[in-house]
Amino acid sequence: MHPHRRADPLTGRHVLVSPHRALRPWLGQQDTPDDSAMACYDPACYLCPRNHRAGGIVNPDYAGPFVFENDFPALLADTPAPPADTSMLFQMEAASGTSRVICFSPDHSATLPRLTPAAMRQLVNVWCEQTQELGRHHAWVQIFENKGAMMGCSNPHPHGQVWAVNYVPDEVQREDDRQRAYFAAHGRAMLLDVAAHEIAAQERIVIRNDHWLAIVPFWASWPFEILLLPRFAAARMIDLGDAQRTALAEIIQSLTRTYDALFNTSFPYSMGWHGAPFGGRSTDGWQLHAHFYPPLLRSASIRKFMVGYEMMTEAQRDLTPEQAAERLRAVAC
């Protein structure tokens, strides 16, 4: 019940943990969860099969995961160099790449926990295929999903994205530097050591199977944050074998069902995969992992706001990661 700081070994950042603040009354914003039942097909949806997208293209009558170039991409393949500026304070560089959308299923209502096991396994294969294809020509490939209007999702049809860029982004560079430094100092992958410690401690594990481990990390910033780790050495998603992919599909569905069960709502989150960058770099020290960052704090209608102190100084949370893991374990599916 006492405030303290925890260090994140992946980024070097800290989080202020203030568990006594969970007792304070809440008179702030309360959101109304949108848990209305969705039909399997919506004729007005830009992402459903056979429908027109916003840019006018007609979707095929797809039956499984469907990948297409984003009609409103954040990145372009051919980007000219910006004007040169001799000032050290005002530097720019060209950013090029590609942005794609991954519809999980033709079913408009099929969020990850509602996919069939076979469809979830297909999606894992698509993630691996996109990583392999785009990694041939880009330094970084980011697979992610923003689920729910609360996380800025612009279309309710279950989908994710993959962005590939010609540089290593800041957050990834932090993880790259620190994992390499840990490997140089200890001769072991940092996140394999984390997994081994968590299995021994049993404090922050939410779900596990023979190949994967879902934990609330010791250094979590978001209330019910999850770090999804392989229990075996794997630098990138393309390193996963058949059994490991099947086990990954299973634990993702178990985790997302657990999220939905916590507050009896379709749980919003942002999730994304981090693996070793491409471009001929060594993968020493790198361990594949996924981050799940859900905003909900106390209920389906009360969320955590990263504002004020968090924006100006460092992250802060109102319940310990151990408390969060215990609550998720209690409803694990």
In a domain, 293, yes or no: yes
Q: Tell me: the pLDDT tens digits for 234-263?
A: 999 999 999 999 999 999 999 999 999 999
CATH code of residue 55: 3.30.428.10
Annotate 260-279 with b (16+ C-beta within 10 A) or e (fewer): bbbbebbbbbbbbbbbbbbe
Sign of CA pseudo-dihedral 316, 325, 195, 133: negative
The number of folded domains in the chain is: 1
Beta-bridge partners for 144: 161, 272
Note the pTM of the prediction, 2 decimals: 0.95
In a domain, 22, yes or no: no
pLDDT number for residue 88: 85
Please give the C-alpha separations between residue 52 and each of 45, 96, 101, 159, 193, in angstroms, as whole numbers: 8, 27, 15, 16, 49
In a domain, 175, yes or no: yes
How would you write the pLDDT of the chain (333 residues) with one tens digit per residue?
789 999 999 999 999 999 877 666 555 666 666 666 789 999 999 999 999 998 899 999 999 999 999 999 999 998 888 888 778 888 889 999 999 999 999 999 999 999 999 999 999 999 999 999 999 999 999 999 999 988 888 899 999 999 999 999 999 999 999 999 999 999 999 999 999 999 999 999 999 999 999 999 999 999 999 999 999 999 999 999 999 999 999 999 999 999 999 999 999 999 999 999 999 889 999 999 999 999 999 888 888 989 999 999 999 999 999 999 999 999 999
Q: Which residues 6+ apart lie within 8 Å of 112 measured at CB?
A: 104, 120, 123, 145, 147, 158, 252, 253, 256
Q: Tell me: the pLDDT tens digits for 264-283?
A: 999 999 999 999 999 988 99
- Quote the Cα angle for 206-267-291, to 5°: 55
In a domain, 86, yes or no: no
pLDDT number for residue 55: 85
Catalytic residues: 159
In a domain, 67, yes or no: yes
pLDDT number for residue 138: 97
pLDDT number for residue 31: 66
Residue span of the structural domain in which 98 resides: 39-78+93-330
pLDDT number for residue 32: 63
In angstroms, rounded to a whole number, what is the distance separating the alpha carbons of residues 80 and 92? 12
In a domain, 31, yes or no: no
In a domain, 2, yes or no: no
In a domain, 85, yes or no: no
